[in-house]
Chains A and B, each alone.
Chain A
Amino acid sequence: MKTIKGRISLSHVLILIFILSGFSLLQAKMLFAYDGHGAQTIEPQTTGPQSEGARIVSKFKYKPIEFTPPKPERLVLDNGMTLYLLADHDLPVFNITTHVRTGAIYEPGEKAGLANLVGNVMRRGGTKTRTPEQMNEELEFIAASVETQIGRESGGASLSTMKKDIDKGLEIFADVLMNPAFPEDMIRKEKDEILEDIRRENDNPGQIVFREFRKILYKKEHPYSRRTIGYKDTIENINRDDMIAFHKKYFHPNNVIMGISGDFDAREIVEKIKIVFAEWEKTEIDFPKVPAVEKEFQRSVNYIYKDVNQAHVVFGHIGIHRLSKDYFPINIMNFILGGGGFTSRIPSKVRSDEGLAYSAYSAFHTPGDLGFFFAACQTKSESTVKAINLALDEVRKIRDELIDDDELELAKDTYINQFIFKFTSSASIVGQMVEIEYEGLPLDYLETYVDNIKVITKEDIERVAKEYLHPDNIKLLVIGDMKQFDKPLTEFGEVNTIELE
């Protein structure tokens, strides 16, 4: 159930302090590996346990796990809509998750924020026959939800309802996708709220970091450099007609992949889908050309002043896209470098050995075109340069020296043994198939996953580390109060000072 927009994280309200959470969302996504053929777990092979405890547990024998993950059915309707279906009668619930090929990358720079605005007002503004108030009341009274959003490179819509309300839920869901009203007053409200969010962005260093890092990494003309919620002036450039046109351009059945799970009869549900989307016609879509990301590596040192006692640090450079042939070895390499939690090298050095940061990690962000590699941490002002050097040294080291056997084993075993957790609910099973197809991955991605991990060697890691890490050509961004730093940032090169908007 979506509660009131959490514009500011309400996690504090829980007054719980979550501790080992050194993972960003990005990273968490990478931590959980999946695979396809039967989810057996494998015996960890430790190259000589180093402690008494490890020696004891290395002798533990486990009963094999036998589990064949359910495979959703794939179906393409006459109107071009792709469906993944997985019935699951355990609980009287029903869920749909949908990907629509669209995104902020397709909006013109002078109207930055258009896609996001369309994604929000589509749901919030009601439809041609349902006022927002009616729709909210109808849905919430039956504990159902319909939500839509458009991000940088994809659009999404979801429905969640109880089994007894499937018909009502589907009807509203289809109505929102096909007939959003985009009323002027709602557009104004949404714009004003986004403007307030923009006003507040600089309040928190954590919200500044990646916004500015993108600007440093990508050329100004490329949509990857822009903020998806837009800017003060570009938001005001957007009018209702732009929004209607944007919706009209991308929301067609042949541009939709839908994952359906829950307590239903497959044949019946397909009929129902056909009925509620009967008016929706297949239409050719002419996608605007998005310029390719330029692959250039040039060192730069960037600094933003903020009156805080802890520096936010990020450094990195252009990386890979999601379909890179080296995706798997790169993931394993990054797991060892800084993506595997405590035992990976960057957190081990920066956090565990030196106590310099609560969160220190590295990751590869892998969108449709070239994404980026980065390492990030937050450390007290007095240890800023020290922490950067420690992390940077690890990036150099993994290029220059072959990794240990047990590091590779730890990474591979983790990916393979965690695989089963990809199948913990029917909703997550169809959800990941929708994503696999949307991203253009082979549809047998899960079936070949374990093998793709298993074949990785130390030499592969060395090769990808050399090819995809460029420690001498990083772009560094530090937010904090330079006067309190342990050493001047000039240590890394000429400092470019950025003024906050």
Chain B
Amino acid sequence: MKTFRIRFLLVAIILLFCTTAYGQKLELDVREHTLDNGIKLLMLEKHDVPIVSLRIVYKVGSVNEHPGITGASHLFEHMMFKGTEIFGIKDYDSEKPLLEREDELISKISVEETKGNDADKEKIKQLEGDLKEVWEKQKELIVKDEMWSIYLKNGATGLNASTGSDATYYYCNLPANRLELWAFMESDRMKNLVLREFYSERDVVMEERRLRTENSPFGLLIEQLNAATYTAHPYGWPVIGWMSDIANMKKAEVSRYFQQYYSPNNAVIVVVGDINPDEVIKLIERYFGDVQSQPPPPDVTTVEPEQRGERRIYVEYDANPISSIAYHKPAVGHPDQYVFDVIEAILSHGRTSRLYKSLIEEKRMAVMAHAYGEPSKYADTFLFFCTPRHPHTAEDVEEAIYEELERLKTTPVTDRELQKVKNQLEADFIRSLESASGLASKISSYEALSEWRYINTLVEKTIAVTPEDIMRVANKYFTKTNRTVAILVNNKERKGTN
């Protein structure tokens, strides 16, 4: 059979062969370059297809917010698609006075509204009318979603962005010859962003919150679980923000946020694909080199106090029951994290995992049972989610999960179970090398949490976990005192039985 595929260097460059079950050391050969202004550039060559996967990561997320502005990171991420002084607008000089007038009117309305019952309704109406007029004028100048169209026109796929508690990611895959276009547009966003159509986008985010959280049993449960789990740490509020905070968010606050966190010294650029790293460095220096660095953003210093006893909450909603359990665990970098990775795999990866076998196949109590223990930048939680099968209750499946945790505490896991986790880890690593986009995402997310090198020691350190480690960690963290339980209960059924 003939194949005409020309592939060179791929394996040699990505994989450094050494020793494991595959006779290889599973490592990524990422090239690193830091600009004078602090931007960190991470590159990985992959020459099989002439495409390039690009990411910009800003190390800012909901963890950097405070009550009153929860959701600011996420709302800001939406604003990044609205254009700059030269994109998305026919003439910025004509728009500028309109934007200033918008701010002025918004602040007048807000002053009037805070008077409560004494507010001058007529005045508010008048101001709102003026505001509408400003927006109409601005609309004539706006070129709708222009950056998005330019990217598409040039063949971009996977255009997207996401906000998490620790970082905000911007995604784009392009044909490899379009790299300069990306560098130009992204550096312009970093330098000259304009908070355009801010208030209509705020409405979009409120719709997003209604969709994902308020009318979704699962979304609602997770939000309430986190709120009950953390009494002090910012992981307690939702990434999307509380509704009242979104509704009252002001452009000025978001703008301050941008100044502080969207600085080059807080940004990472990841480039994976058919590239020449020396050329990429030149290109990135040319477009991003002149962005002014800012004082380093403040650290998150709040530490969640040790939990002093089980917390249980019930979330009433018109839906069938779901159970969720959270145990506090340490941040990324703590050696116990590798043990949690193994525990997650043993409990919930695949049809031979313990939760699947026990809750679904043997006891037949549940239709879904999942454990989740990935690392975060700060101390977070090891989570369980389970949907019971009627007539089994949320409490029944909760008990069944505890039984499995007790087993972890008292009986060493078998060598075969551990070997299986190891085999899967190695195979997953190799499979992950197939996708430029997947690699770019992996490198950027580990860089945001700690640093990309974490990937290169992950397999090795996870493989070193012993049955004794697992028993120790299970005994230390999976205690009643350390847990928060949130259960979704059907309020319609409740009304009937009360």
Interface size on B, residues (CB 8 A): 119
B359: min CB distance to chain A, Å: 9
B402 CB-CB contact with A under 8 Å: no
The residue that B143 contacts in the complex, of A17, A19, A51, A67, with Cβ under 8 A, is: A51
Q: Are B351 and A7 in contact (CB-based, < 8 A)?
A: no
Contact digits for A63-89, partner B, Cβ 8 Å, 1 yes 0 no: 111111011010000000000011110
B103 CB-CB contact with A under 8 Å: no
Q: Are B350 and A203 in contact (CB-based, < 8 A)?
A: no
In the complex, besides A204-B319, A307-B318, 16 extra interface pairs with C-beta distance below 8 angstroms are A5-B367, A10-B370, A12-B219, A15-B222, A17-B74, A17-B212, A60-B181, A73-B2, A92-B22, A93-B430, A192-B364, A310-B214, A353-B200, A358-B211, A380-B207, A427-B434
Contact digits for B336-358, partner A, Cβ 8 Å, 1 yes 0 no: 00000000000011111101100
Q: Which residues on B sit within 8 Å (CB–CB) of A205? A: 215
Q: Are A20 and B222 in contact (CB-based, < 8 A)?
A: no
B420 CB-CB contact with A under 8 Å: yes
A91 CB-CB contact with B under 8 Å: yes
Q: Are B208 and A41 in contact (CB-based, < 8 A)?
A: no
Contact digits for B356-387, partner A, Cβ 8 Å, 1 yes 0 no: 10001100100111101000000000010101
Q: Are A67 and B157 in contact (CB-based, < 8 A)?
A: no
Q: Which residues on B sit within 8 Å (CB–CB) of A193? A: 360, 367, 389
A489 CB-CB contact with B under 8 Å: no
Contact digits for A390-425, partner B, Cβ 8 Å, 1 yes 0 no: 000000000000000000011001101111110111
A3 to B222, CA, bound (A): 20
A290 to B433, CA, bound (A): 44
A29 to B114, CA, bound (A): 48
Q: Which residues on B sit within 8 Å (CB–CB) of A54? A: 87, 143, 146, 150
Q: Are B177 and A41 in contact (CB-based, < 8 A)?
A: yes
Q: Are B200 and A354 in contact (CB-based, < 8 A)?
A: yes
A338: min CB distance to chain B, Å: 14
Q: Are B435 and A7 in contact (CB-based, < 8 A)?
A: no
B416: min CB distance to chain A, Å: 7
Binds B, one of A210-218, A296-304, A340-348, A467-475: A340-348
Q: Are A44 and B188 in contact (CB-based, < 8 A)?
A: no
A8 CB-CB contact with B under 8 Å: yes
- Chain A, interface size category, equals 35 or more
Q: Which residues on B sit within 8 Å (CB–CB) of A62? A: 177-178, 180-181
Binds B, one of A137-145, A235-243, A247-255: A137-145
Q: Are A341 and B159 in contact (CB-based, < 8 A)?
A: yes
A54 to B180, CA, bound (A): 14
Q: Are A20 and B81 in contact (CB-based, < 8 A)?
A: yes
B235: min CB distance to chain A, Å: 9
A25 CB-CB contact with B under 8 Å: no
Contact status of A91 and B11, CB under 8 A, knowing A7-B387, A352-B200, A380-B210? yes
Q: Are A196 and B177 in contact (CB-based, < 8 A)?
A: no
Q: Which residues on A sit within 8 Å (CB–CB) of B351? A: 2, 4, 124, 132, 136, 140
Q: B residues engaging A (CB < 8 A)?
A: 1-5, 7, 10-11, 22, 48-51, 74, 77-78, 81, 83-84, 86-90, 139, 143-150, 152-157, 159-165, 173, 175-178, 180-181, 184-185, 188, 197, 199-208, 210-212, 214-219, 222, 239-240, 318-320, 322, 348-353, 355-356, 360-361, 364, 367-370, 372, 383, 385, 387, 389-390, 416, 419-420, 423-424, 426-428, 430-431, 433-437
The residue that B155 contacts in the complex, of A3, A308, A417, with Cβ under 8 A, is: A417
Q: Which residues on A sit within 8 Å (CB–CB) of B22? A: 92, 162
Q: Are A51 and B148 in contact (CB-based, < 8 A)?
A: no
The residue that B320 contacts in the complex, of A199, A307, A409, with Cβ under 8 A, is: A199
Contact status of A20 and B159, CB under 8 A, knowing A54-B146, A93-B430? yes
Q: Are A4 and B177 in contact (CB-based, < 8 A)?
A: no
A196 to B367, CA, bound (A): 7
Q: Which residues on A sit within 8 Å (CB–CB) of B4? A: 68, 70-71
A20 to B81, CA, bound (A): 10
The residue that A424 contacts in the complex, of B2, B162, B435, with Cβ under 8 A, is: B435
A287 CB-CB contact with B under 8 Å: no
Q: A residues engaging B (CB < 8 A)?
A: 1-10, 12-21, 31-32, 39, 41, 44, 46, 50-54, 56-57, 60, 62-68, 70-71, 73, 85-88, 90-93, 124, 132, 136-137, 140-143, 160, 162, 189, 192-193, 196-197, 199-200, 203-206, 266-267, 307-310, 340-343, 348, 351-359, 378-380, 409-410, 413-414, 416-421, 423-427
A92 to B222, CA, bound (A): 39
Q: Are B430 and A92 in contact (CB-based, < 8 A)?
A: yes
Q: Are B175 and A65 in contact (CB-based, < 8 A)?
A: yes
Q: Are A141 and B211 in contact (CB-based, < 8 A)?
A: no
- Please name the residue on chain B nearest to A52 by beta carbon: B86
Q: Are A355 and B157 in contact (CB-based, < 8 A)?
A: no
Q: Are A88 and B217 in contact (CB-based, < 8 A)?
A: no
The residue that A91 contacts in the complex, of B3, B74, B434, B436, with Cβ under 8 A, is: B434
A302: min CB distance to chain B, Å: 19
Q: Are A17 and B420 in contact (CB-based, < 8 A)?
A: no
Q: Are B3 and A70 in contact (CB-based, < 8 A)?
A: yes
9 cross-chain CB contacts under 8 A? A4-B348, A62-B180, A87-B1, A136-B351, A310-B211, A353-B144, A357-B207, A380-B206, A418-B156
Q: Are A6 and B368 in contact (CB-based, < 8 A)?
A: yes
Q: Are B427 and A143 in contact (CB-based, < 8 A)?
A: yes
A44 to B177, CA, bound (A): 13
- Please name the residue on chain A nearest to B222 by beta carbon: A12
Contact status of A12 and B218, CB under 8 A, knowing A140-B424, A414-B155? yes
- Please name the residue on chain B nearest to A71 by beta carbon: B4
Q: Are A50 and B143 in contact (CB-based, < 8 A)?
A: yes
A77: min CB distance to chain B, Å: 15
Contact status of A423 and B49, CB under 8 A, knowing A19-B77, A355-B204? yes
Contact status of A340 and B152, CB under 8 A, knowing A3-B348, A19-B160? yes
Contact status of A310 and B89, CB under 8 A, knowing A65-B175, A141-B420, A266-B1? no
The residue that B424 contacts in the complex, of A1, A6, A17, with Cβ under 8 A, is: A1
The residue that A19 contacts in the complex, of B156, B161, B177, B199, with Cβ under 8 A, is: B161
Contact status of A85 and B1, CB under 8 A, knowing A53-B87, A341-B152? yes
A480 to B162, CA, bound (A): 28
Most chain B beta-carbon neighbours within 10 Å: one of A19, A63, A378? A19
- Please name the residue on chain A nearest to B175 by beta carbon: A41
- Please name the residue on chain A nearest to B152 by beta carbon: A414
Q: Are A189 and B419 in contact (CB-based, < 8 A)?
A: no
The residue that B352 contacts in the complex, of A67, A140, A409, A413, with Cβ under 8 A, is: A140
A68: min CB distance to chain B, Å: 5
B103: min CB distance to chain A, Å: 18
Q: Which residues on A sit within 8 Å (CB–CB) of B159? A: 20, 341
A23 to B317, CA, bound (A): 28
Q: Which residues on B sit within 8 Å (CB–CB) of A425? A: 434-435
Q: Which residues on B sit within 8 Å (CB–CB) of A32? A: 157
Contact status of A137 and B162, CB under 8 A, knowing A13-B370, A355-B204? no
Q: Are B322 and A8 in contact (CB-based, < 8 A)?
A: yes
Q: Which residues on B sit within 8 Å (CB–CB) of A39? A: 50
